[in-house]
Amino acid sequence: MTEEIKAMRNVALAGHGGAGKTTLAEAMLFQANVTKRLGKVEEGNTVMDFQPEEIRKQQSINTSFIKYKQNKHTITLIDTPGGENFFCASKTCFPVADCMGFVIDGVGGPSAMTEEAAASALEYNLPGFVIVNKLDRERSDFMTCIDACKTALKKKIVPVYYPIGSEDDFRGFVNVITGEGFEYGADGQSKKVDIPSDMLDEIEMVKEEFIENVAELDDDLLEKYLEGEEITQDEIKATFRQGVLDAQFYPAICCSAAKLIGTDTISNIIIDYMPSPIDRGDWTAKDADGEDVIVSPDPDGEFCGFVFNTIVDPYAGRLSLFRIISGTLGKEGNIVNTTKDTKERFSQLLEIAGKKQNSISSALPGSIVAVAKLKNTLTGDTLTSGKEIQIPAPEPLPPVISFAISPKEKKDEDKIHEAIRKILEEDTGLALERNKETKQTILSGRGLVHIEVTAEKIKRKFNVGMNIETPKVAYRETFKKKIRVQGKHKKQSGGHGQYGDCWIILEPLPKGSGFEFVDKIVGGVIPKNYIPAVEAGIRETSKTGILAGFPCVDFRTIVDYGSYHSVDSSEMAFKMAGTLAFKKAAQEAKAVLLEPIMKISVKVPEDSTGDIMGDLNSRRGRVLGMDSEDDKQIINALVPMAEILRYAPDLSSMTGGRGTFTLEFEQYDEVPGDMSAKIIERVNSEKD
């Protein structure tokens, strides 16, 4: 069984959207004879992108998996989304890979999501390799990409396959380790060739640099190198592999997935140099006391698995995908969810292959498997045979944009909430809340496209249409002037009448004070049992405001005088008196509109800071200062919420997708007069 685990390779293909990860995966499957025809994203017939939304948008939205055999090894490809809207689906899957293949666009180089993926690789200390794709395209350049990757991936990059030809003449590569050249025909088949004479000096320099990088990893090898002794290929390969496993550097290779140039060798790189689950070694879990516990990839150990993905099907139910970290799992049995402290039972063990689910009889450590219909298990949970340990789950990426949602048909109100609740189980990048003030249901996600695709999924899976609109801003109202008024409610209608009379002082309070009520009645001019009714009238009326129906805040009311009638006075009458007094005072106390101000921290490349600061100023923002983190600048500012409801796509556009931001509520501030009048007019017209 140990030999079987040693022959496993779990590889996550990561990188920016459009770099060609799915096309590369399809090429690898085709050349390994897993598929009979080459799947193409443009034709919507790929194994890896099979959801209707992915086919329509021609991009990966969900992480997909397939396992195949090659050269007595079992390779599991994990094709992750590279778009910033769907990167949350990638981040949850990275921990279960044993290495990462960074797919780089040979024209554009590494982009924002490549950097994010690289950060995850560093976090989990995963080995990796760089695949420079699309080298047949105009303006593509292998070494320019390599140099850019050194900065973006924060790792030394060592070329092992060097391109022969460039742009539309790209036709093959030189294996730097063996010194052999290969060129490809139109059918994707390679033949061995002599290295072109005009490349000999270039290849000699590349090989010299390669050997130098490898020799530095081993003292004996370095000594031989410095003394000019010959280093054998076996010595180079062994030391090179150890350097890769220790994540000392990332080897780099060249290819054109669309033309099948170089893609047949990627599986060889994975088999020869990338780690097995045993090479990856122990995982660290936490026990009930929060202490570290080592979990080894031992097939005879206690079962432990980590759930990294959830798929919800309205008919088949919930499918939980997990990696087996320790122990051997049979085709059915009882397990414990230690995260939720619940017992679960499964009756079928599955293996995911694109859109197919195949039953298997057992699975070893390192295997990526799935079971259906676990009642309480979600992404990030730990499953064991009973041992009270938990594998730490990656933090979900925070939502960056919010929209108000509603069903297209009123009768689907309950149905849409149930549908979203299920979608939330499979998508950790979404969040749902009900805004009590605006009475809107707010769905937050990683971008507008993320929310739109979620709406498409809900329509397809649950047959519920969903409206998406910009959410309303929860404004407030307050007062600038101190005023004293009388509120008197007197009504006679035969028999008992109604009588309540109070004088109140309304005065503004400092920002954030809320509402205060003070009783200064002396001499019993208003009986004690009626004072709470006055407060209730003021409190309730203040919730609906005076300018545009928004709650009033940061003011104090003092009831200091009044009168009552021994027969006609009642709590209801004094509540009406309080209501009338507040309305009258509010009209005279110079009411103003307040807007929520958000504290924003924007992390951007240094060359974007000027543009971002200028943009924040144009949004009525106030920059508080700047910090630096690695090679990024962090701009801290206060900005009105109304100005950044759709900030995410704007920031992405300004920074080429390299900017990120976090938001938190800071305070309420007064809206400028001209804008206040427009908001009040708009809100009141919407009510009408």
Question: What string of DSSP letters covers 611-643?
Answer: HHHHHHHHTT-EEEEEEEETTEEEEEEEEEGGG
Residue after which a domain boundary falls, among 332, 360, 390 = 390
Tell me: do 385 and 411 sit in the same domain.
Answer: no
My answer on whether 102 and 195 are in the same domain is: yes
In a domain, 472, yes or no: no
The CATH number for 652's domain is 3.30.70.240
How many structural domains does the chain have? 5
Confidence category of residue 688, pLDDT binned at 50, 70, 90: low
Model confidence at 653, pLDDT cuts 50, 70, 90, reads confident
Q: Tell me: do 208 and 289 sit in the same domain.
A: no
Is 229 within a domain? Answer: yes
CA distance 462 to 66: 27
342 lies in some domain: yes
Residue 169 pLDDT exceeds 90: yes
The backbone region for 341, taken as left when phi is positive above 0, alpha when psi lies in -120 to 50, beta otherwise, is: left
Does pLDDT of 182 surpass 90?
yes
Q: Is the pLDDT of residue 253 over 70?
A: yes
CA 44, CA 558: separation in Å to the nearest integer? 70
Residue 470 lies in a domain: no
Please tell me whether residues 346 and 211 are part of one structural domain: no
Mean pLDDT of 369-385: 94
pLDDT of 357 strictly over 90: no
Give the per-residue pLDDT at 495. Answer: 66
Per-residue pLDDT, averaged over 455-483, amounts to: 92
**Which two tokens mark 234?**
């076996």
Do 354 and 234 lie in one domain? The reply is no
> 3-class DSSP state for residue 232?
coil
Q: Mean pLDDT over all residues of the chain?
A: 91
Regarding whether 276 and 287 lie in a shared domain, the answer is: no
Span 107-113, mean pLDDT?
Answer: 89
Tell me, what CATH number does 203's domain have?
3.40.50.300
Which residues constitute the domain of residue 544? 477-589
In tens, the pLDDT along 499-531 reads 999 999 999 999 889 999 999 999 999 999 999
Question: What is the per-residue pLDDT across 610-638, written as a single tens digit (0 to 9) for each?
Answer: 999 999 999 999 999 999 887 789 999 99
pTM: 0.84
471 within domain boundaries: no
Helix (H) or strand (E) holding 264, with range, is none
Asked which of 465, 494, 517 is the last residue of a domain, the reply is: 465
Residue 556 banded pLDDT, cuts 50, 70, 90: very high
Instruction: Please provide the DSSP assignment of 13-44 as one string.
Output: EE--TTS-HHHHHHHHHHHTTSSSS---GGGT
Which percentage of the chain shows pLDDT scores above 90? 65
Please compute the mean of the pLDDT values over residues 298-303 and round it to a whole number: 93
Domain co-membership, 134 together with 14 = yes
Q: Which of 169, 163, 199, 166 is nearest to 182 (CA)?
A: 163
- Measured CA to CA, the distance from residue 422 to residue 450 in angstroms comes to 16
Residues 376 and 331 in one domain: yes
Using the 3D structure, point to which of 216, 247, 280 is the last residue of a domain. Answer: 280
Q: Are residues 202 and 272 in the same domain?
A: yes
Question: What is the domain-level CATH number for residue 453?
Answer: 3.30.70.870
* 170 has a pLDDT exceeding 80: yes
Residue 395 has pLDDT above 70, yes or no: yes
pLDDT at 227 over 70: yes
Residue 396 lies in a domain: no
Residue 540 has pLDDT above 90, yes or no: yes
Which of these ranges, 224-238, 471-485, 548-562, has the smallest mean pLDDT? 224-238
What pLDDT is attached to residue 657? 79
pLDDT in tens, 81-102: 988 888 889 999 999 999 999 9
CATH number of domain containing 379: 2.40.30.10
CA distance 2 to 8: 10
Name, in order, each residue with C-beta under 8 angstroms of 379's C-beta and a sequence gap of 6 or more: 92, 307, 308, 309, 310, 393, 425, 426, 428
pLDDT for res 494: 64
Q: Give the distance, in angstroms, between the CA of residue 615 and the centroid of all CA atoms in the same chain.
A: 24
Both structure tokens of 614: 């200028």
Looking at the fold, whether 289 and 433 belong to one and the same domain comes out as no
Q: With cut-offs at 50, 70 and 90, classify the pLDDT of residue 405.
A: very high
12-31 confidence digits (pLDDT tens): 999 988 899 999 999 999 99
**Residue of 252, 229, 363, 236 lying closest to 303 (CA atoms):** 363
Rounded distance between C-alpha atoms, residue 596 and residue 511, angstroms:
12
Instruction: Report residue 337's pLDDT band, with 50, 70 and 90 as the boundaries.
Output: very high
Residues 431 and 414 in one domain: yes
Q: Are residues 211 and 339 in the same domain?
A: no
Q: Is the pLDDT of residue 316 over 80?
A: no
